[in-house]
Amino acid sequence: MIDPEGGLLRGTLDVLILKSLSWGPRHGYAVAEWLRGATDGELLLEEGPLYTALHRLERKGWLASEWGFSENNRKAKYYELTRAGRQQLRAEVSSWERYVRAVSAALGAAAPKPA
Amino acid sequence: MRRVFRLRLGRATLAREVDDELAFHLQMRAEKLVTGGMISEEARREALRQFGDIESVRRSCLTIDQQRERAMSVSDILSELRQDAVYAVRMLHRNLGFTAVIVGTLALGIGANTAIFTLIDAVLLRKLPVEAPDRLVAVGDPGRPGGVSMNPGPQGDLLSYNAYQRLRERAGLLTGLLASGRAEPSVLIEKTAGAEAEHPSGRFVSGNYFKVLGVPAARGRTFDDAEDRVIGAAPVVMISDGYWTSRFARDPAVIGRSIVVDGTPMSIIGVTPPTFTGDVVGRPTDIWLPLTMQSTLMPNRPWLSDPSVHWLLLLGRMAPGVSLDQARATLESQVRQANADNGSQGASEKDLREMKIYVSSGAKGFSRMRGAYELPLLTLMVGVALLMLIICANVANLLLARAIARGREMGVRLAIGAGRFRLVRQLLTESVLLALLGATAGLGLAWWGSHVLLALAADGAPAIALDVRLDAPVLAFTVALSALAVGAFGLMPALRSSRVDLAQALRAGARSVNSNALGARGQRMPMGRLLIAGQVALSLVLLVGAALLVRSLSSVEQADTGLDRDHLLIVELDALAAGYRGDRLASLTQELSERFSRLPGVAAVAFSENGIFSGTESMNSFSVPGFVARTREDSVAATDRISPGYVTAIGGHLLRGREFTAQDAGHAPRVVILNETMAQHYFPGTNPIGATMRFDDTTAAEIVGVVASIKDHDLEGAPIRRFYSPYLQFGAGEPGSLRFEIRASGNPADLVMPVRQQIKALDPSLLIGGIDPLSLLMRQSVREDRLLARLASGFGVLALLLAAVGLYGVMTYAITRRTGEIGLRVALGAQRGDVIAMVVRDALGLVLLGLVIGLPLALASARLLRSQLHGIEPSDPVSIAIALVVLLASAIVAAFLPALRAARVEPLVALRQE
């Protein structure tokens, strides 16, 4: 799932953001840190596109946002999954799993017997 | 985290939020790098590097946020509107009776206003359905499409054929100039024996008529210049789509078919499109006849050859770039010139200079109705507007009363944080919904009402053929009216009831909040009561107007006309069309007179040229030796040609001299009879019998009699100067028409059939123009006044009813509120009569306040009616007294019912309620 420039495909970034928020509200930096740790820094080469994605998901109604205070007491914008966002996450995860199963089955197949 | 009430965020706020969010990220990242051992300057650069193109991220975040804001605010507004509407529907549905009353009264008001406006649209505003109507210019008085005037002097309101030809030759600023004039054709469609002739509405028009108007033929062809070339050589007609449908069943073979018009066979060459009904509004033309055929179809009426016959109206099409003002200036001087060229006999330079010339926009065509109905319609419009105000006051009052009942609900909603603006909007939504329902019902009412109005206006005669429809201007009017009404009746209660005093409202318990909680603090006069006083004032204005109009009408209808109005039957015969001339005409009058006289129930028979209330009038010019004419009017008077014994037969009074006899015929010396008005004008204080009147250098007539003045064509105003000549004295030219006046000893309507039979028995080909009792003709002559009086009375009564209902409502409400107080009074020994008197006194206080406001208003607006009043003054005390008495009486009745209820209050029950 790596595009020619080495970045994330848009759909993959979206589903990972949804996943990162599935344990509760986070601000953008926390999402970035989680992504870094969870993917060993392999997927997100630049952090800017993460914010474009957050705003886009909010426009779609999957995320809601609110200003709050961070751990070190700074004003930060917190994102949260909406009900629609949660449904979207479930749908994406199950379709991702089907996709992975299908691709791994094909990749792990033995050589076809000669007919 | 869903925000219920939220404000839309501006671009600056959004940008700031994006910046804050990104700054927070960079700061966190830099701090983390510093913890990892970097110096802060380097860490900041590294954080930026890891972030990527910050400017482009910032821009796209902002764009996305703005899109989200826009979408949200639209959906917020929509969902709030939907909430309001759903809520309003629920509220209106819950109070169905209340809703029905309001929608009903609004429908009445909007319907009445729209109906009157529909007529105003059709009569006063709409343009002719022709090509570019705004480019047409009218020459002549557009209010006289049926006028014919014989006058050797100059004239500017109608034109002679001669003047038309001169104007047409010179019309430089025009691309075309058409003429049209009165025609009253008798038509035989089937040329079989015994067929009845009919009288479609006709019009003589010049050959270029359809070309100038830009109206093509829907079938066949239109007239063209060929029809104008030779007098009497174009026996062709055009018919309207309506006539083609009603008389020819839309038979395609109608083109080329021959019909008989006034005894002359003419062939149909074309049918007009359905939208075009001619140049006369309010009287659709059925059949168009070439102007050049007039002398053929109407013998003895030299309207083409005699330049002193003025009967044509002209429409010119202005050349591109020519303005109406330019056309007017040129046409005025050309009309003056044409009159001068006519060698207008007896016309001085001064006459020519002073003559009034009519040049105006021709966009709306010609119409007698426009002049006749303009003032009545505008008066009615003012009347229904007043009615609408009363209705708005009534509805406002009802809404206010309900707002008081809903005070607690409002209080609760305010308490849980609804904004006041939101509450006002909620209440206005209900008002808009009510207005919408009212307007829809009102439009239906208006469609029906405008047809009823037309039938009323026609007053028994065939309904006036006006194309009334709910077109764009009418709909726009209704929408604007409804919007205004919402503002008038909805806004005030909404603002008021949202100003609820929270503490009071909630404390008042489950029952309704009293008006103190509704912001009536310190006001001695609650809004509802002021509205009632206002309604009473407006009702008084309408009632006084109605009373004045009704009394004016009855004074006109009962005016002394100087003849026996209740017993005369007027018979109009088209004898000339049937070929009666000279001696044959004389013997026809003799024969018919004898036949009619022999009928049982006939007291007397006379005949004349113009008759009585026929709508046909002649003027003639003359001079009286020894009398110096100062103005042109001094040498012109109305005239008629009458039979022997005419004055006595119609119930007039001969004051001096004698009537005409059978000897005043043929080439006997010419004689005339004057009416009293004329005798006093020319012979003040002397006896005119034996004096002479000169008509031109060679003709003079001796005055042989004076009759008491008769109102024979117009019930309004004083009788005009008039003289009579003998019908059968053909030396002065033959008469153009024949009408019999039959005086019945009983009801003249009983004579209609026998008279018709006698005419048919003598000559079946003789065409009957009409057989009508004089009283009917008289009534029709004042039908505008009758319409106005009837409608004004109707609106007056409606206003009265509404005001009474309003008063009843307010009093009932007041008594409900004062139940406890009344109970206490009764407990302390007040009698029922005292209670009733108290309530009625309270109500009368309101009514008197209304009358005090209304009386000066009524007097001022009555003065606007002056031109429509005959025989009474605008300040007529009787009318004002009638209005006051009717209003007071209704108010007492309206107040008495709640008073009775108050008197029945049981003290114990009332006190326990508190």
Q: Output the pLDDT for position A1.
A: 40
Which one of B20, B28, B74 makes the best mutation probe of the A interface by having the most chain A beta carbons within 10 Å?
Answer: B28
Nearest neighbour of A47 by CB, restricted to B51, B61, B71: B51
Query: Quick one: tokens of B880?
Result: 């004002």
The vertex-B626 CA angle with B624 and B629, nearest 5°, equals 60
CA B822 to chain centre: 51
Task: Looking at the complex, report in whole angstroms how far the Cα of residue A59 sits from the nearest Cα belonging to chain B.
Answer: 5
Q: Output the pLDDT for position B139.
A: 92
For B388-408, the pLDDT digits (tens) are 888 888 888 878 777 777 777
Q: Which amino acid is at B304?
A: L
Query: Quick one: tokens of B787?
Result: 């319409």
Helix (H) or strand (E) holding B258, with range, is: strand B258-261
Listed as ranges, residues in chain B with pLDDT below 70 are 1-9, 151-152, 192-196, 342-352, 417-418, 458-466, 497-525, 577, 615, 632, 696-697, 731-732, 910-914
Q: Judge: A77–B17 Cβ closer than 8 Å, yes or no.
A: yes
For range A30-44, the mean pLDDT: 83
Using the Cβ of A98 and the Cβ atoms of chain B, whether some distance falls under 8 Å is answered with no
3-class secondary-structure state, position A69:
strand
Q: Which amino acid is at B110?
A: I
Q: Output the pLDDT for position B3.
A: 43
Query: Quick one: tokens of B784?
Result: 């505008």
- CB-CB neighbors (< 8 A) of B52 in chain A: 46-49
Q: Output the pLDDT for position B210.
A: 95
3-class secondary-structure state, position B119:
helix
pLDDT category at A62 given cuts 50, 70, 90 is: very high
ipTM at complex level = 0.88
Residue with tokens 């966190």: B28
Which one of A26, A31, A56, A59 makes the best mutation probe of the B interface by having the most chain B beta carbons within 10 Å?
Answer: A59
Using the Cβ of A75 and the Cβ atoms of chain B, whether some distance falls under 8 Å is answered with yes
Q: Output the pLDDT for position B524.
A: 46
Q: Output the pLDDT for position B164.
A: 92
Q: H/E/C letters for each residue in B672-706?
A: EEEEHHHHHHHCCCCCCCCCEEECCCCCEEEEEEE
Residue B65: phi and psi, rounded to 5, are -65, -40
Q: Output the pLDDT for position B861.
A: 86
Nearest CA to B568 among B780, B783, B778?
A: B778
CA distance linking residue B562 with residue B447, whole number of Å: 43
Nearest CA to B641 among B664, B667, B669, B668?
A: B664
Nearest CA to B426 among B460, B403, B444, B448?
A: B403
3-class secondary-structure state, position B31:
helix
3-class secondary-structure state, position B753:
helix
3-class secondary-structure state, position A16:
helix
Using the Cβ of A49 and the Cβ atoms of chain B, whether some distance falls under 8 Å is answered with yes
Q: In terms of CA atoms, which chain A residue is nearest residue B2? A: A64
Q: Output the pLDDT for position B351.
A: 67
CA B316 to chain centre: 28
- CB-CB neighbors (< 8 A) of A24 in chain B: none
CA distance linking residue B155 with residue B336, whole number of Å: 9
- CB-CB neighbors (< 8 A) of B22 in chain A: 51
CA distance linking residue B148 with residue B734, whole number of Å: 17
Give burial (CB, 10 Å; 0-12/13-18/19+) of B350.
Answer: exposed
Task: Looking at the complex, report in whole angstroms how far the Cα of residue B421 sits from the nearest Cα belonging to chain A.
Answer: 27
Residue with tokens 């209005």: B883
Nearest CA to B689 among B659, B656, B664?
A: B656
Q: Output the pLDDT for position B464.
A: 62
